[in-house]
Chain A
Amino acid sequence: MAETVPVSLTVNGRQRSIRVTADCTLLDALRDELGLTGTKECCRVGECGACTVSLDGRIVDSCLVLAAEADGCEVTTIEGVSPTGAPGPLQQAFLDAGAVQCGFCSPGLVMAARDLLARIPHPTQADIRLALAGNLCRCGCYGQIISAVLAAGNGLSAREELPRQKEAAR
């Protein structure tokens, strides 16, 4: 029988205690043990960002974190971003910009965008592209998503063109 470990963590401000196998990921614990299905599963190798959550104030791919590692930690999921289910200002910006097609990547993107705005309140287009590079959107909403985050961060309307920052020696 698989060894189980006790895990106590704070999820969206609430203390939760669960028992999971050692190899249970934080993603599986959130979705299956705690019923928080807003965080999505796709690649399971930390490439697509659909499973993005905030762990002790930093965004991570929850598929690459064991639930056991999160013992004693604070986790915020998409459900915690809008506890009543009503879209907050950032999420509304996504909707206003037309940045939601199938929506499967949206929770992860909201988490990543929220994290960016907390670190850089007025991001440039280059900041946004880099910050969201870990979230794949196959529907191809990137343009609208960038507009949404620009709007949320800068009070700009969609599609302002900002100078592209050239990279240094590659």
Chain B
Amino acid sequence: MTALVGQSPERSGGAGRVTGRHRYLGDIRVPGMLHAKLVTLDCARARIRSIDTSAARAVPGVALVMTAADLPQPVPRFGPQYRDRPVLATRETHYHGEPVAAVAAETLAAAQEAARLVRVDYEELPAVVTISAALAPDAPLVQDPALRAAGPLANTNVLREHRYGWGEIDAAVSDLVVEGSYSFPIVTHFAIERHGCIAAADPEGITIWSTIQHPYWLQRTIAELLGLPLARVRVIAPDPGGGFGGKQHAKYEPLAAFMALAAGRPIRLILTLEETFQAVRRNSAEVMVRTGFRADGTITFRDIEANYLLGAYADISDRVVGKGTYLACGPYRVPAGRIVARSILSHTPPSTAFRGFGAPQVIWAAESVLDEGARRLGFDPLELRLRNLVRRGECMVPGDKPADGDWRQSVLEAARLIGWDEPVPAGRGRGIAVGIKPGPTTGLSYAAVRFLADASVVMTAGTSDMGQGARTVFCQIAGEELGVSADRITLLMGDTAVVSYDQQTSASRSTVLMGNAVQRACRDIHAQVASLAARAYSLDESQIEVGGGVVRMPGRELSIGEVVRVGLGSLGGELVGIGECRKEGQKGHPLSGSAEFYEFNCTAVELAVDEETGEIEIARYATVSDVGKALNPSQVRGQDEGAAIQGLGHTLMEHYVLDSRGRICNLGAIDYRIPTSMDVPDRLVSAVVENGDGPGPYGSKGMSEGALLAVAPAVAAAVADATGAVIRDLPLTPERVWQALSQRPQTVPQLAATAVPQIPGVRNR
């Protein structure tokens, strides 16, 4: 049975996963491999005076102890935005967990023992680990100014400042101006599969196995660092066990590569869970938002200042800030807007991409301010959103890609699902919020389809399936186009030696970009089939139509497979189709290109608060995304509900606790809490709006991040509705909620009733 688009066939690769047969990076054994262990210091920042490796090297089974001195000099640096991160710390460490040395041994136990015996003579230095500390005039500089581009920021910890704006903020006339400062905590990805890699060098080149989401970026990074041609760097990327952005870019693969060259044997490095907390995290942020409203609820201006706290090395985080704040004014009609967003370096673990890519932080603040405006105007927060939401074709940022959906539908559907029109049960409150995020701004994906003589198919696509189910979707597209069932398709991914280039797996792009490439590869097959059919049946190609798995000719309709079998003749062989999907950048665009699509989501929540303890109990939760077309409805639902639960993590319980010396106090699973089965709302429902208006195959858009964007403001709005307590800092732990309850003012300021005109359809709650 061919699994067609719009149906929900079983997850491709699912059977192997539920039976434990599927092999992740950590399950791979390379003969002769040595086990590696990192050596780190117990502080945020230190000057390294000397490192004594003699005791470590004497441990039986130890093959190699590497420090910066053993690397090419000057120590090579890498990074997707700036080449700022050294392969090993040189002279100074810049965050709690930055490796100063690494050990490789026959067993992990020997490596751990040796790592403990590496003696580092160091002097702890003052560290800046908060935004205010990093911005203080006398703050120590996180990065050597010599590594920075020249400019007014070079001698500050502000890596970069992004400015967007339009209209005349100061000329805006408002009946109400709402202002607030909000904070978003440091949280980490906590993929259940930890980051890891294996590096194996041979005389011809090097092979790197990695949990990486972007194999081709890694290939490029390693090739540059080692001075090898791309064709001699093979990256094998097994499907990751969760990524969420934390596995996009190289972390310790370069170190493993140098160790493999030095040791002459393969090197295997798997991080502990605690080490992953010290390797990847989301930018935290402090966001100040001012918004003007007219009495009728329309927005007059939005003025946003967002400071994001990056780690000691930029990774991709400055891009996160620039892109994440670009639409900070929201999916609204905003006559005047100003956004200033700063990427601020600190002596903390490097932040990187994380589902939402800088948008959740600013949406937390901006949607909360909108909610505050609704309260003060006496407006229904749903109505306030609807009143200001852009319609399809209207611009959010003047001159840039306009709204590509009828987003009002998503908002109305979320409201319907939560029962917005029904009376609120006693003791409960409701909140609603929307989120928007731009999709990929550039892209390049190649797909290849080999249609074999027996009508089975081998495909290649360089996407990373880390749980979102890309494999299933690509097989469905091939099934739809070529009439091949999933059990007759082999899909090769994650091997740069065998699979053609894919720029990256991020920004919810793969269904659209790689999906288009797969579809085009299939249509390349169609064209070749038409040719075959013309020859085989003595027809003109214009008489032949190929699509949906069949070949239509005058007087007959055959499956593609049949035509291919006949057409290939006694020699057999195969047809090879290539598909490319390319999105070029746009010179001069602040993001280097417009978004291919927007992700839009509306989230609505109904909850109760135990006012004695501050505990939140979510009774109902609805999330609706505008997806164009759900190629696999079950997987779409899994992505949206999964994103919602992940968002509840940073909303209710996740945050790093740092001590005064910048060390993370809650490393690991016991004191860093993520949602469990017990924490899922009783009634969590998701829905999609499908108008076939996306640029992907069959009208699809990208999705999977949208449902995380507005979780926090929706929950906080519901808490305010239930209790009157307005909270501007995340997470909403029971303790924080309890503190806010004990401090709440007795009355909430309201506009005078006469200032609010009677407007049909407005429900004043």
Q: Are A and B direct contacts in the complex by CB distance below 8 Å?
A: yes
Residues of A that sit less than 8 Å from B by CB:
1-2, 21, 23, 31, 36-45, 47-48, 50, 77-79, 81-82, 85-87, 91, 94-96, 98-107, 110, 128-130, 132-133, 135-146, 161, 164
Cβ-based interface call for B264 (8 A): no
Question: 16 A-B pairs, CB-CB below 8 angstroms?
Answer: A2-B109, A42-B273, A43-B668, A48-B192, A79-B21, A85-B21, A100-B11, A101-B469, A102-B239, A103-B17, A104-B192, A133-B677, A136-B676, A138-B190, A141-B638, A142-B680
Interface contact A87-B467, CB-CB below 8 Å: no
- Note all chain A residues with C-beta closer than 8 A to B467: 101-103, 139
* 5 tightest A-B CB contacts, nearest first: A38-B20, A103-B17, A104-B241, A102-B467, A140-B642
Interface contact B677-A128, CB-CB below 8 Å: yes
Interface contact B21-A95, CB-CB below 8 Å: no
Interface contact B8-A98, CB-CB below 8 Å: yes
- Note all chain B residues with C-beta closer than 8 A to A86: 15, 19
Known: A44-B272, A106-B17, A143-B684. Contact between A101 and B678, CB under 8 A?
no
Interface contact A133-B18, CB-CB below 8 Å: no
- Note all chain B residues with C-beta closer than 8 A to A79: 19-21
**Apart from the given pairs A103-B16, A138-B189, A146-B680, 9 other A-B contacts in the complex at a CB distance below 8 Å:** A2-B109, A42-B193, A48-B192, A99-B638, A103-B14, A103-B17, A137-B677, A144-B638, A145-B677
Q: Which of A47, A103, A140 contacts B18, CB < 8 Å?
A: A103
Interface contact B192-A136, CB-CB below 8 Å: yes
Interface contact A44-B273, CB-CB below 8 Å: yes
How many Å lie between the Cα of A167 and that of B732 in the bound state? 22
Q: How distant is B275 from chain A, measured CB to nearest CB, in Å?
A: 11
Interface contact B17-A138, CB-CB below 8 Å: no
Interface contact B193-A100, CB-CB below 8 Å: no
Q: Which of B23, B192, B678 contacts A129, CB < 8 Å?
A: B678
Interface contact B19-A140, CB-CB below 8 Å: no
Q: Which of B22, B23, B60, B644 contacts A140, CB < 8 Å?
A: B644
Q: How distant is A47 from chain B, measured CB to nearest CB, in Å?
A: 4
- Note all chain A residues with C-beta closer than 8 A to B656: none
Q: How distant is B21 from chain A, measured CB to nearest CB, in Å?
A: 5
Cβ-based interface call for B145 (8 A): no
Q: How distant is A97 from chain B, measured CB to nearest CB, in Å?
A: 8
Interface contact A133-B192, CB-CB below 8 Å: no
Interface contact B13-A87, CB-CB below 8 Å: no
Number of A-B contacts (CB under 8 A): 179
Q: Which of B652-701 contact A (CB under 8 A)?
A: 668-670, 674-678, 680, 682-684
Using CB atoms, name the residue of chain A closest to B8: A98
- Note all chain A residues with C-beta closer than 8 A to B26: 37, 40-41
Cβ-based interface call for B194 (8 A): yes
Q: Which of B18, B192, B670 contacts A40, CB < 8 Å?
A: B192
Q: Which of B17, B634, B642, B676 contacts A133, CB < 8 Å?
A: B676
Using CB atoms, name the residue of chain B closest to A21: B109
Q: How distant is B613 from chain A, measured CB to nearest CB, in Å?
A: 8
Number of contacting residues on B, CB 8 A?
Answer: 60
Residues of B that sit less than 8 Å from A by CB:
8, 10-11, 13-24, 26-27, 60, 109, 189-194, 239-244, 272-273, 466-469, 634-635, 637-639, 641-646, 668-670, 674-678, 680, 682-684
How many Å lie between the Cα of A137 and that of B97 in the bound state? 26
- Note all chain A residues with C-beta closer than 8 A to B272: 44
Known: A95-B14, A98-B634. Contact between A85 and B19, CB under 8 A?
yes
Interface contact B19-A47, CB-CB below 8 Å: no
Using CB atoms, name the residue of chain A closest to B240: A102
How many Å lie between the Cα of A107 and that of B18 in the bound state? 6
Using CB atoms, name the residue of chain A closest to B193: A104
Interface contact A98-B11, CB-CB below 8 Å: yes
Using CB atoms, name the residue of chain B closest to A1: B60
Interface contact A104-B242, CB-CB below 8 Å: yes
How many Å lie between the Cα of A132 and that of B190 in the bound state? 18
Q: Which of B19, B24, B191 contacts A87, CB < 8 Å?
A: B19
Interface contact B109-A96, CB-CB below 8 Å: no
Interface contact B677-A140, CB-CB below 8 Å: no
Using CB atoms, name the residue of chain B closest to A104: B241
Q: How distant is A150 from chain B, measured CB to nearest CB, in Å?
A: 13
- Note all chain A residues with C-beta closer than 8 A to B193: 40, 42, 102, 104
Q: How distant is B94 from chain A, measured CB to nearest CB, in Å?
A: 27
- Note all chain A residues with C-beta closer than 8 A to B639: 101
Interface contact A91-B18, CB-CB below 8 Å: yes
- Note all chain A residues with C-beta closer than 8 A to B682: 164
Q: How distant is A165 from chain B, measured CB to nearest CB, in Å?
A: 11
Known: A104-B192, A104-B193, A104-B241. Contact between A141 and B19, CB under 8 A?
no
How many Å lie between the Cα of A103 and that of B18 in the bound state? 7
- Note all chain B residues with C-beta closer than 8 A to A143: 641, 680, 684
Q: Which of A1, A43, A144 contacts B273, CB < 8 Å?
A: A43
- Note all chain B residues with C-beta closer than 8 A to A144: 637-638, 641
Q: Which of B13, B635, B668 contacts A98, CB < 8 Å?
A: B635
Known: A40-B193, A41-B26, A136-B192. Contact between A101 and B19, CB under 8 A?
no
Interface contact A140-B676, CB-CB below 8 Å: no
How many Å lie between the Cα of A48 and that of B21 in the bound state? 20
Interface contact A105-B18, CB-CB below 8 Å: no
- Note all chain B residues with C-beta closer than 8 A to A40: 24, 26, 192-193, 241
